[in-house]
Chains A and B, each alone.
Chain A
């Protein structure tokens, strides 16, 4: 019993690079035995018979069911007992698990769970909505629903850096490019490289630790602003963690110092409007998370300045300046954009949901 408790910790939201080996391919055919249409990752399982007649059960990762549904796919597209052919990327370990690149239903020849070839439904182009006082609204227009969904990137690198070859989750193609990512102090660069060489498998987020700092705005399940102007604060509901939220005070209170703050994943934040940009300064971070999936380190001296600019209804520009003199030689800035998801709400997601599928 104790051995069971000490088995692999909860590994439900590991980065792609830590789980799968993109340098290899796998092809399997089999009969569907189980379908788990759950967040954050949907799986189906197939019995695969080899040349000797031996049957092995494979887990096939088909990605976020939220993304699949946005592409028009339903759980009912596949049934238990269906024969399918799968091409994909195998797991790094010897597990019988693959991330599907192609799933073909044998009886019809139809390709399942493929991304939509047409652009996902976005709200029609429109100016950014505003409050009666003229200030930009960060949430939906009056009478509408919606939330901020996919970020344009899952990585954070200095804006002035040339394009650095890396995977979608920040695994460098060439470790020698580490210097270009951010102005690291020597220890921080060494830690970053160490994490990269281990294929990011030590990511605390994979153990259900919140995605603190800038990473909170790169989570697949998105986020939502709740602007409570009468209370002088903005709540940020985060879809990529265990129902986490963050508070940004806009009532004019001072930021204080890191030494006074109780260290936390989202820090202590105060915001102010500079024309149409919400500028948020935060400090008081703990050291229990990575700044990005790629393994950027930080210390409790971290001070973030975030700028949120909603240029139109559908687009939010996020820019973050990282100051941490114990980790980086100077302040540096990265940015990305985030797409509005109209007429929908953030779906339920708990980190533990898929813990038994990564095996």
Chain B
């Protein structure tokens, strides 16, 4: 049993190392980011953001799939690596809802760089933490 656990540990360790090697060195926002947002530390909602840079603007999607919300604007301030995201979608009841998020990129050189800050969805305010997959 101990041996099996050790092998599993080694496997995950190796995977972690491999992921570290294959970093993305292009535009800092390009890629798939995942994490959560919520009004309190215990009330969290999983979120996935997919963003890409076309040379003029960053476009993207929040939670790709049947409930996807297209991101309206993404503003990246390269002087301090802060990001502002605006999007309009629908909540679970089908009502229009506006999303506004503002955060800061941390550990820019990492393959798993992080983006964290404030997240406002409709009238609910909270925070968000996502990292690049």
Give A contacts to B, CB under 8 Å. 1-2, 5-6, 9, 185-187, 189-191, 194-195, 198, 202, 204, 207-209, 287-290, 297-301, 325-327
Contacts and interface: CB of A to CB of B under 8 A. Distances in A.
Interface of B: 6, 9-10, 13-14, 16-17, 20-28, 30, 53-55, 76, 78-79, 81, 108-109
Given A1-B9, A288-B25, 9 more contacts: A6-B16, A6-B17, A9-B20, A187-B27, A209-B22, A289-B25, A298-B26, A299-B53, A300-B26
B24 A288 contact: yes
Contacts of A290: 25
A341 B109 CA distance: 37
Interface of B is mostly: loop
Contacts of B22: 209, 288
Contact of A326 (B16, B53, B76, B109): B53
A186 B78 contact: yes
Nearest to A193: B78
Contact of B17 (A9, A191, A288): A9
A7 to B, nearest CB: 10
Contacts of B79: 190
Given A301-B55, A325-B55, A194 B108 contact: yes
Given A187-B28, A198-B109, A299-B30, A204 B54 contact: no
A299 B27 contact: yes
Contact of B21 (A202, A209, A326): A209
A1 B16 CA distance: 14
Contacts of B16: 5-6
